[in-house]
Amino acid sequence: MLILILVLLTSGNTYKIHKAVPMENIKEVIVKVDNADVSIQKNDSMHLDADFVQHRCRENILNKYTFEVERKKDVVYISVKKKDRDFELRKCSLKLVLEVPFVDVLKVNSLAGDIRVKDSRSDSIEVKTLAGDVYISDFKTDNLVVKVSAGDIRIGKNVIVDNISLETTSGDVYVKKHSEVKKLEITTKSGDIEIEGSLLKKEDKILAEASSGDIKCLFKNIDKGVKISASTKSGDIKSSFPVIVRDDEDCNVIFRAGSGDIIISY
């Protein structure tokens, strides 16, 4: 049985619609947003709280959007869509704020807007946006996939993941690598890549590719058994750790740059 609480609150220039849904036996949460920022954090209770919030605008424009939270079998669907495709959002700030308990799968798809995921937990998370930055920190999952057409990707502290796949067409990628990250793949066509961590182990698998941009890797310690391959078509390679200066698939760490420098230090 679906239970929704719908409240319209006003405070100054802030308007908010709140909805809640019980999460017993829910395995997946799917979020689709037109043009609003998305913020996701954990909820210790067994229900999902969703707030559609408007800031910095005297007029209430939330009624120009459909905000739906729907439960179907073991999946919760959350959507924010413009009623009129020709409507343009000016000056106002829209945000979808979600408090989500543990789920097996979390998927977020946005046309335009920043996405922040912090202090949460799921077995698998997939984030996609056409235009906007993605920030993830204090998160534990088995698999993390982020795809951005135009925007930066930042993976902050305490992200404990077995496998990470990050892809952006135009934007920079920064990763604060946790020691428990076993496999990391990063691809950007136009943008820089920066990887930072405390320890690079010989069991780690890292592939970083930048068609047009620099690749920087900074670790406090690197195991002796680590093999690093670095290759660039137009740029310099600088490393304080022995590297194989060619594309070598046998290495557990591979850096490829089309037009840009590769810098490795520890």
Per-residue model confidence as pLDDT tens digits over 155-180: 998 888 889 999 999 999 999 987 67
Q: Which long-range contacts (CB under 8 A, 24 or more apart) does 56-61 make?
A: 56/13, 56/91, 56/92, 56/93, 57/13, 57/15, 57/91, 57/92, 57/93, 58/13, 60/10, 60/15, 61/89, 61/92
The answer to whether residue 118 is domain-embedded is no
Do 138 and 98 reside in the same domain of the chain?
Answer: no
Q: What is the pLDDT of residue 244?
A: 86
The pLDDT of 47-57, averaged and rounded, is 90
Count of structural domains within the chain = 2
**4/222: higher pLDDT:** 222
Do 171 and 210 reside in the same domain of the chain?
Answer: yes
Q: What token pair was written down for 239?
A: 């490393």
Element (H, E) at 60: none
Distance CA 57, CA 1 (A): 36
The pLDDT of 257-264, averaged and rounded, is 96
Q: Is the pLDDT of residue 139 over 70?
A: yes
Do 8 and 94 reside in the same domain of the chain?
Answer: yes
Domain range for 169: 133-266
pLDDT band for 63, please (50, 70, 90 cuts): confident
Q: What token pair was written down for 130?
A: 């056409």
Do 11 and 77 reside in the same domain of the chain?
Answer: yes
Do 214 and 257 reside in the same domain of the chain?
Answer: yes
The answer to whether residue 119 is domain-embedded is no
Do 95 and 139 reside in the same domain of the chain?
Answer: no
Do 90 and 194 reside in the same domain of the chain?
Answer: no
Do 74 and 184 reside in the same domain of the chain?
Answer: no
